[in-house]
Amino acid sequence: MAEDHVGPAGIVLSASIARRYYLDGRSKVEIADEFGLSRFKVARLLDAARRSGLVRIEIRHEGGIDVDLSVRLRDRYGLQHAVVVDTPDDDDASLRGHLGRAAAGLLAEVVTPDDVLGLAWARAVSAMAEALPPLPGTPVVQLTGVLSVPGGPDTSVDVVRGVARASGGTAYVFYAPFTVPDAATAAALRRQPEVARAFAQLPHVTRAVAGVGLWAPGQSTLYDAVSEEDRAALDRLGVVADVSGVFLSADGEPVATGLADRMIGIGAEQLRQIPEVLVLPYGTAKAPAVRAALRSGLVGGIVTHTALAHAVLGD
């Protein structure tokens, strides 16, 4: 049979061999014996079947996850986990719901009884907490102070308590604001028993979940909450992103700021010590911030959506 022009008999033969190999799991030697061919001929027929389109191999997931984009994002940035939700939605509330459910599924899959979970408040993290099934007795640690959000009744305390209640684990929470007027007040608050108790757990946190903010109006809850003077000061320092109150430049380097001295929350080096920090960004405008976060070495996992994944990859 000439391989550059395959007639009906050749097509049927190729299809039969391909079925034995790909569907029945037979070896090339076994197929060669059955059809009276050499194993080299079998290999050539299998290659020709792939080239001609007679055999097509697809890796599919019918669960709303873009597997190809997920793999590309994971490989590009060397992440432990990357999940890209395939959704055309561009409404923020809808996106948060999709990402929250996907992140909840990921955590339920990977969290073990030995883990300690840290949570930094973000709207997407709150959506994840609502969708999270019970975890195996996992302790939950609050990573940031409370930030008042218009139209959002839940706080970092509510999110941590809710997840800990579902898991049956201990909740390490504290009632302190995320930002205060001066460094002395921040230092005094960090010494308060409930704050100190939560922060003493930071070295034990094995997984954390946070949002990513772009340092711009309407793109970062923290940006919108601080003074115009603080916003301008961080702009001058080249801040592009914030992850759990850790400020980053475009190349992913942590930026030391005066504002950080007035914040009650985890620091850059403490965040770096956590084996996996999972971020849940949404909205294509945040692509520069997400790139900064993924370049920083602070982030080990991401759950996002197709449009933002394409923007981050530069597609």
pLDDT digits (tens, 9 = 90+) for 76-126: 999 999 999 998 767 888 899 999 999 999 998 899 889 999 999 888 998
Go through the domains of the chain in sequence order and give each one's CATH number.
8-52 (1.10.10.10), 65-313 (3.40.50.1360)
**Total residue length of the chain:** 315
Q: Which of 66, 67, 79, 63 is nearest to 278 (CA)?
A: 79
- What confidence tens digit (pLDDT) does each residue in 119-168 have? 998 889 989 988 988 888 899 999 999 876 555 545 678 888 888 887 78
Task: State the Cα–Cα distance between residues 36 and 21, nearest whole angstrom.
Answer: 15
- What six digits make up the tokens of 168? 């049956």
Going across the sheet that includes 241-243, the strands are 213-214, 241-243, 246-248
Helix axes 8-18, 28-35, angle to 10 degrees: 140
CA distances to 149, 157, 207, 260 from 294, in Å:
26, 27, 16, 21
Q: Which residue has the higher pLDDT, 231 or 59?
A: 231
Answering whether pTM is above 0.85, one says: no
